[in-house]
Structure 1
Amino acid sequence: MNYIRQLNAAFEKFYFDERLNPTHISLYIALFHEWNSSRFADEFFVNRRDLMRMSKIGSKSTYHRCVTDLDSWGYLLYFPSNNPFKGSKIKMFIIDPDEEQDGHYYDPKLELLAEHYRPRSGPVKNQHHPNNGQALIHNRPIGRQALVSTINSKKQIKPQKQPNSLEAVLNFFKNKSFSPDHGKEFFEYYQKRDWETSDGMAVRDWRALANYWMDKVELMNIKKQAKENDASQIQDNLRTTKNKNYGQPL
């Protein structure tokens, strides 16, 4: 496990994920620190108070909202504990695709990989939020912390497992100012696989999957361009002229 590569990959993903705010990132860094302290164990236990102090989160409801958001968005798996003497359990995903752990790594195309591992029997809100009669109703930070926005100004789009047609995919990519060729490639890739992820799970939201597809393509283009610029710079440095005049004074 390469600490630097994993952290750099996380920051690259933060750059493209518009859902995140500073509180999410602060909590992720605190969890990453705990993960590193546990020698990058597959699963490890955390103490909420320590994480809140490290990430400078002053509200329990803000902490629970952020950790469940990170869970829902595929950054980690969160297993809350009902035992006050035992901390909650966390499973972090390896974001760098070049680094594997037990044969599994985080793939941005797999939006809902977490559902494959998450055993739950009750409502999510009852498991992730303290039932104090207030957080479940208002679902907003209490006290000083106000970094997590609870107002959704955009109309919620109902998740759709599969697109109705290739035209719907092309229009979606066009609205995102992305190449329709990549939209066709995305549609054909998952159409051949009956809209299942590589681990055999059915796609839950093709739009979210398409966003990750576009992010990954853009990252690949950035890295490709960087390599081409480096190669071009090396060639320029190695160029020499054959027309040399040794008669001029030094």
Structure 2
Amino acid sequence: MNYIKHLNAAFHRCYADDRLRPGHVSLYMALFFYWNLHRFAEVFYANRTEIMKMAKIGSRSTYHRLIKELSEWEYIEYLPTQSPARKTMVRLYHFRTTDSTVTGPTGTLMQRYCPKNVPPTLYTKQNKQYKLSEERKPKNEIEVIDFFKRKNWPSLDAKKFYNHYQGVGWKVGKAPIADWRAIAGNWMLKADEIKKTAAMKTVAKNGDHLMTQNQKDYDEPL
């Protein structure tokens, strides 16, 4: 049993089946997970409590409805038992793929779906360059200054911020910036830390005039 080919075929069949709902797909994947744990046995024990937890199904009635529908639609074979001494078993049908078709348990052929209108990715392997949308970087320096003013941040810091990231192509290291406003917030946090550190160094260098080593007698009147 080929793990990848089976899942590919199952996903293609799920795509083409309008009867399925998210609960069906979730339950099928949970059953597949336990089938894998049982090393793809012909039949395996379906522990309802564990499978419901894995599939995120909170109702027993929903579980029984979904598993019976999967059985009716020939995704699985549900083998319930009325005897408390016997365990409820499940069999998963084998799905397989060829180069152009998907074959189901009854031998019916389904055309493999290949999407035509694939949205362009942000990263192209050919030129190894990221394509940034205009929303991920400011339009110009004025937009940055206006943003800093709304945050009550100095305009000088806005110009420094814009010039720095304009010079590096609006990247952090090699990764493109996803949100320049968030980066601006980090820029100001670091600027405040630098100012505080500089102030502490100045105090340490010049001495704190509020501190003294002289012993005072506080019993004496001022």
Normalised-by-shorter TM-score class = 0.3 to 0.5
Whose strand fraction is larger, Structure 1's or Structure 2's? 2
TM-score computed with the length of structure 2 as normaliser: 0.46
Instruction: Pick 1 or 2: higher relative contact order, CA cutoff 8 A, min separation 6.
Output: 1
**Greater gyration radius:** 2
TM-score computed with the length of structure 1 as normaliser: 0.41
